[in-house]
A and B are shown apart, each in its own frame.
Chain A
Amino acid sequence: MHEHQLFMKEKESIDDLVDQGYKIIGIKEDLSGAHVHFDYIDHDNRSVKTKVLHVLSADARKYFTTLLFAKEKRFN
């Protein structure tokens, strides 16, 4: 698969979760890429669902950190 196609597929998965209301709550990086932990927070602020995406492509690893970084910048 072309790198860009892999990136688009991974970006889509990240965007899907974000659109559903999931938030990135933790990241673990190792030799095989990044494991991105998402939590869905319900109205009572209790975590109800957790998902982990294994993100491989460099562009997607950059993408999710940029999302977080942009958010952090907005709040600072």
Chain B
Amino acid sequence: MADLSVNLAGIKSPNPFWLASAPPTNSGYQVQRAFEAGWGGAVWKTLGDPVINVSSRFSASTFNGQKVAGFNNIELITDRPLEVNLEEIYETKKKFPNHAIVASLMVEPKQEKWHEIVKKVEAIGVDGLELNFGCPHGMAERGMGSASGQVPELVEKQTYWVKEVAETPVIVKLTPNITDVTATAYAAVQGGADSISLINTINSLMGVDIHSWNTIPHVSGKGTHGGYCGPAVKPIALNMVAECARHPEINIPISGIGGISNWQDAVEFMLMGSTNVQVCTAAMHHGFRIVEDMIDGLNNYLDEKGLARAMDLIGQTVSKYQNWGDLDLNYKVAARINPEKCINCNKCYISCEDTSHQCIDRLIDANGKSYLKVREDDCVGCNLCSIVCPVDGAIDMIEYPSEVAMTWNERQSLLGKMTIGEETVS
């Protein structure tokens, strides 16, 4: 059995599975039940000046009848007084001394405000602080959350103010509602952050009811943008984590968040540079006990890989994530249809013929039976046919490793030496 414990910038937890700051970590009752179920850590629902929430806060997208592809919320930070939360944090920490409890914080971008809350929260004994610079709705209209998280100078300054007084590790939680997340991640590093966590939710409007013309959700006929999360955002989150992980000047540990629903997702985030992962939507969808499968799955995976520690996974894929210009232009994959498995639905043929490179032929065999065959020479290896094929294993993408690997950047530097002016046609 592998060692699942992780250490994120000095914050230790028995496994890498933390609950993200959100409804699942709203109270001591919930966090204690989560720890009993097996979660290794929890980032408490964001503390700050208590808010008042609206009713009708969540909505979700389904995909082909499958719930929940993406999740949208217009909830704000905690609506409970600070003292109540602190009391419950204290009780929870006393009962679970080996589990990580991190307090998420959000106040106005003023030095004295940050100093005040940091001192109060650390006085009751938390393992770390997470600065919420990410909440995209409501709080942002008051200059907090993503409003300050989108401005690198404000991220740096506020992180610095927190670090002036903080005694526990400081995690800066980043908003994805920015063009280049490494700009704010770097600002956090400059401000002295011990770790970054990402992503918070993505600006979203879940829908419009075409009968009533109301937004979804609506609050008495009016709507406002929310924050999107859940499985739909995982690729966006994973890329942002990867961009930070491979940035040479962002060299603090990362806590990965966004669409993580099972142990495989967690492994992906860890391979891409996350020290641990935080989960919200999957827990809201399926309850705390999903962590049991996550722990078992990770354990078995590490055993199969012959790894002794979960921390051995961290960042293993980062060096494989590069700029497009560093990819090998001569590497080729081509589709091959497996007639034994194909059910002749023609989906691959239509997709290639209409929207790719017209290289699947419809042929008739000696017995008059129709079948499909890829002209591999014309196939550009776009993968579309295998993406749309409904049968597992009916299309294989065959790899043809290159004899001479050559990247776009290498090609351009070669051309740079050989470029001449006007051509003369002989």
Contact = CB atoms under 8 A, between A and B. Distances in A.
A4 B411 contact: no
A28 B420 contact: yes
A66 B330 contact: yes
B426 A50 contact: yes
A11 B333 CA distance: 20
Given A26-B419, A29-B419, A69-B414, A52 B426 contact: yes
B292 interface: no
Contacts of B414: 65, 68-69, 72
Contact of B404 (A28, A35, A66): A66
A46 interface: no
Contacts, number: 60
B419 A69 contact: no
B357 interface: yes
Interface residues of A, number: 23
Given A29-B415, A66-B404, A37 B423 contact: yes
Interface SS of chain B: helix, strand, loop or mixed? Answer: loop
B425 A69 contact: no
A37 B375 contact: no
B303 interface: no
B375 A24 contact: no
Contacts of A27: 415, 418-420
A36 to B, nearest CB: 9
A26 B359 CA distance: 34
A70 interface: yes
A24 B414 CA distance: 12
Interface of B: 329-330, 357-359, 375, 377-378, 404, 406, 410-411, 414-415, 418-426
Interface of A: 2-4, 24-29, 35, 37, 50-52, 54, 62, 65-66, 68-70, 72-73
